A and B are shown apart, each in its own frame.
Chain A
Amino acid sequence: MRRLGRSVRLAPLIAAALAAVIATTPSPAKAPSAPRARAAATDRPIPCGAEVFPQFPEEVYAQPARRARPAFSPHVGTREALWTYNYRTSQYDHVDFTCRAVDKHCAILVADSAAGKITDTEIIDITDRFERRAPGHEIGIYDVLSQTFAQPDTVLGDPRIYIALTTIESNYDGGFIAGYVTAGDRLARSANSKSNERHLIVLDIGHGWPIPRSAWVTFRQQTLTHEFFHIIHNGIDRAEDGWINEGIATFSQTLCGFDGEDGEEYFKDTGVGLIETSGDLPSLADYDKSFLLIRYLADRYGDDFVGDVARSPAHGVGSVDGVFTAWHVSDRFRTNVFPAWAVANLARPGTDPVYAYKTYDPLVHQPAKFGDVGSVPIVRSNISLSTYGVHYLCAGSAAEGQIAYPTNSGWAVESVIQQDGSVRLVRPWYATSPGMARDCSPTAAWDVIAASGAPGTYSLTLNAPSMLLPTVAARTPIGTGVSAYQTEVRTQFADVDPTWQIDVSLVSERYGALDRTLRIDREPLAGRCGVNVTVSDVTGTPLPPADVITVHIGDVRGPFGSFLPSTDASWQFTTDTADTQPPQVTIGILANPVLRERLTALVISNEPLHPDPDGPVRLAVNGTETVPLTAEDATGQHWIGTFAVSAAGQYDFLVLAADVAGNPVAPHTARYVVTIGDGGVLARRADGRQRPMREEGTTR
């Protein structure tokens, strides 16, 4: 058996080698490899032995010959020897069978050695279920699956389904293989000397499995359904990956009214990947996982979706994604299906269209202490995870932790809370850097690590949460006599829940609630569970003067659910009295001593100047032109303008500006009148030379 993620596909090579052997020697075909030992330790039957048989090259199946013997119309009582696979010896046994029943689509053959173990009633039950009435249906298994997937094709001209009941020999202590189908039986004996040249389903007659006989009868019919899907599928996509092959075969059981797999074996080993191609016998966990994935696909996208996957000529994940494409659905298996399925395994059925099955309840099939990783602190290093393996971890208490996993691996890491049977994705593990994430779960959460990408190892640490109470980091203004004109109300909180919305309002003692514009800025997480939040009043107009302003802050929640005490969040300050004093300015005009028409205006104010309603801070020249003034520093009290005058004469300069309260510059200081001589502000030089004033651009 191979799983997704390995780089070399061995099965086709093995099959090619087998074909070469088959073509050059009349000896029996080489038997498949022995089943893996890990599948043996079970007290439950292996549901299907089909995956052990290697695939033959596709061209070998193109056998137009019509089978000569046995006849296409078997008769009850006819005896013949068939090749059955012995999983104990890894060889084929030649076993005598007698035909016990013939119906419209099937014939029942019973091994002579097992003749006394199958009653006629049981044989009738088999044919009845297969031909006429699957549980809960008005039609038989044959028609249910034929209508859902495809009509079975013919083998060497024979469309009939032969159901052989015998003892399937295996070496499983306490367990057995319930049935199998091999595509090798579709071949002519000239290509496969051990071929039975027909659609042949081999069912175990039942070892000493301690269940009531009636249950056995049902189980046998269920296995028949499973194997009949393989018969159909071998005719349309026999090289399909094992997880889809076995998953849909088991899903077929449910379509026909039987049970699927219960998932218990999977939940004992959720790290298994997806079985890709045949070769070894899958584990019970493999069968469970394959079924659960197909069950989930059917629940989320419908039975028809699974039918299209079965009919798709593509294989594995490509088959699923190909159907998505054909259905014009943007979802993809790796990113949308597998991670969500991993989470759905923690939910009661029907609780969510994405993160739950419709009817299957995984929780009742999970072992005690499923996912329990003990109590914090937990440190796990270099844990391996197969491609499409999943690890479920639950510390049982709130935890703050960190996980390091392969960079660009495509892994999905989710924090999940179970609540009343449903699941809720909580804030994900925050990606703090490539391949590094941090858990800030506010309550006990499951961590679901789904390796929907390359295999790799991860390391995990979980610690008791630090609680991280939100704190007030800074606030302005505070105290009394606060300038109503220059104050910017601002408060900062640290360790706030990143998603928490903070309500802020400013209330005046004199006017009630104030209509202010408040901006809330959140810093990036930067590897922490909580963020820093800054609330700023950006209204741009003054606060009411001579007033008591209360800044009301609503609840501020920390990342683990604790709240900042409201008494810490809100505060008061008192604004100063109204500013009615106009700014006083001093104006100076300084000339360039050589280029004397070039002047510099320097305005010094006793308080910061601001634009007035008509424009920026400026200097009006003779009431006609204006010179923009620029602040030399942030105080707004030192303003400069450079300009030129074109002629001598008296100049009237007027500063146009206001203070923060809107008071215009005091008129008696705003005006400055100066006489500029023909030589500029500077007087004529003693040597009698005079520098004429010139306008720039007029010299050439």
Chain B
Amino acid sequence: MRRPMKRLTAVAAALVIAAGGCDQPLSSAEQVTRLTAEGWGQFRVGNYAGAEDCFRRAAAVNFSDPEVQLGLGWALLEERMLGDAIIALARIGPRDPLYPHAQAGLAIAADASGRFDDVIPAAEAVLAADSTYTFPYDSSIDWRDLTFLLAKSYLVLSPRRDPTLTQTTDVLRRIDLDPPLVPGNPATWTANGLQWSTLAEAALKRLEATQAAISSAVP
């Protein structure tokens, strides 16, 4: 029942805007542009419910608008509605300029859902498009977060996907401030000043240390 009600609300809001805001009623494109801008505004100030409401109203006017779906997906992500967020973000195709932003959201949602196999292609797509990526609507989310998610996923999946931890250490190297872990050199398997008996243990502890470090870095 929630969705139809929202749709009605969005239509009503659009009518109000059209009737009261201007002498001339807004076109559909103008309505979408206006609602999308309002949505991102709400998103920026952390009012994710308000943002979702704006994006849903915009979607009622033009459901296939990529930016509307992007905003909706990110709003839902911040609201921890991970399944719905993934559905909205997955509607944005790889040829769309907004694709990296959608993939960034997908990587975060997949990690939070424990779907680490899905994190890797999404995070790699973002970093391939822009190695210094920053999410335009929340500058606290950038390439370091995605690199961290990528390294984490490789490590979690290492028994199946990266048994030698080569990819894990390669990715980790981009955000790790300590001397790099070298798979073939146990002398490098250190973290927090401790020597670890396995490379996996060392990578795990490096990631633990890194997550604090990257979050304190200035964007």
Contacts and interface: CB of A to CB of B under 8 A. Distances in A.
Q: Decide if A and B are genuine partners.
A: yes
Interface of A: 586, 588-595, 598, 600, 602, 604, 606, 632-633, 635, 637-638, 640, 642, 679, 681-687, 689, 691, 694-697, 699-700
B218 A632 contact: no
B195 interface: no
Contact of A682 (B48, B205, B212, B219): B212
A681 B108 contact: no
Contact of B217 (A604, A686, A695): A686
A593 B214 contact: yes
B83 to A, nearest CB: 10
B149 interface: yes
Interface in B138-176: 139-141, 144-145, 148-149, 152, 155-160
A700 B114 contact: no
- Chain A contact surface mostly: loop
B215 A685 contact: yes
Nearest to A641: B114
A687 B218 contact: yes
B140 A638 contact: no
B16 interface: no
Contact of A598 (B111, B159, B198, B215): B111
Contacts of B141: 593-594
A600 B160 CA distance: 18
A700 B145 CA distance: 26
A632 B211 contact: no
Contacts of B215: 593, 679, 682-685
Closest 5 CB pairs of A and B: A642-B114, A633-B159, A682-B215, A588-B204, A593-B145
A592 B112 contact: yes
B79 interface: yes
A632 B208 contact: no
B80 A602 contact: no
B109 to A, nearest CB: 8
Given A593-B144, A699-B80, 13 more contacts: A590-B204, A590-B211, A593-B145, A594-B145, A600-B114, A602-B156, A604-B200, A632-B158, A638-B158, A640-B156, A683-B212, A697-B80, A699-B81
B49 interface: yes
Contacts of B159: 632-633, 635, 637-638
Interface in B100-153: 108, 111-114, 139-141, 144-145, 148-149, 152
Contacts of A681: 211-212
5 contacts: A586-B196, A632-B158, A687-B139, A699-B48, A700-B81
B132 to A, nearest CB: 16
Contact of B152 (A594, A600, A635, A687): A600
Given A593-B145, A593-B148, A681-B211, A687 B140 contact: yes
Contacts of A640: 114, 156
Contact of A589 (B79, B82, B156, B208): B208
A117 to B, nearest CB: 105
Contacts of B80: 595, 694-697, 699
A285 to B, nearest CB: 75
B86 interface: no
Contacts of B112: 592, 594-595, 598, 642
A292 B4 CA distance: 87
Contacts of A694: 80
Nearest to B108: A594
Contacts of B108: 592-595
Nearest to B105: A594
Contacts of B155: 602
B216 A686 contact: yes
Interface string B69-94: 00000000101111000000000000
B207 A588 contact: yes
Contacts of B38: none
A36 B205 CA distance: 103
Given A598-B111, A632-B157, A638-B159, A686 B218 contact: yes
Interface string B180-219: 0000000000000000111011001101100110111111
A698 to B, nearest CB: 8
Contacts of B113: 642
A600 B116 CA distance: 10
Given A598-B112, A685-B216, A687-B218, A699 B140 contact: no
Given A591-B211, A633-B159, A699-B81, A687 B219 contact: yes
Contacts of B156: 600, 602, 632, 640
A691 B108 CA distance: 14
A700 B204 contact: no
Contacts of A687: 139-140, 218-219
Contacts of A588: 204-205, 207-208
A699 B49 contact: yes
A684 B140 CA distance: 11
Nearest to A631: B159
A594 B149 CA distance: 10
Contacts of A638: 158-159, 200
Contacts of A591: 211
Contact of A590 (B79, B140, B160, B207): B207
Nearest to B217: A686
Given A633-B160, A700-B79, A593 B218 contact: no
Nearest to B152: A590
Nearest to A599: B112
Contacts of B201: 586, 604
Nearest to A698: B80
Contacts of A682: 211-212, 214-215
Nearest to A689: B140
Contacts of A632: 156-160
A685 B216 CA distance: 5
B141 to A, nearest CB: 6
